[in-house]
Amino acid sequence: MKKKVRMFEARDIESLEEKINEFLEQLAVEDLVDIKYSIVPEAISMDTETGVYPSASYTALIIYNGRASHSYDLPPVPQF
C-alpha cells in the first residue's frame, strides 16, 4: 500500500484543528498512519499599551495509506 502525506498550516491552533478534523472526517480510520505536529515561533511584537504578542506558525503532517479504491475529497493544499 502506497503511503501519502498531507500538510496543514495555520496561524492559530483552533484553525489548524479545524483543518485537520475536516480531513480526518473523510479518511478511513484504518488508513491513518501518523500525525506529526510542530509550532514555529516567528516573531514577538511589543506594544507599550497592550503587551507582548507572540506570533507562531502551527503545522501538521498527516501520513496515511493512499488506497487506489478510496477517493478522498481533499481540501486544496495551502500556498505559502
Tell me the β-bridge partners of 4.
64
Q: Tell whether pTM > 0.85.
A: no
| The pLDDT of residue 71 | 52
Pairing of strands 3-10, 32-47: unpaired
Render each residue's pLDDT in the chain as its tens digit; 80 residues: 799 999 999 999 999 999 999 999 999 999 999 999 999 888 777 666 777 777 889 999 999 998 754 555 555 655 55
| The pLDDT of residue 54 | 73
Contact 41, 27 (CB under 8 A): no
| The pLDDT of residue 66 | 86
Domain boundaries, the chain: 3-65
Cell matching residue 18 = 479545524
| The pLDDT of residue 51 | 72
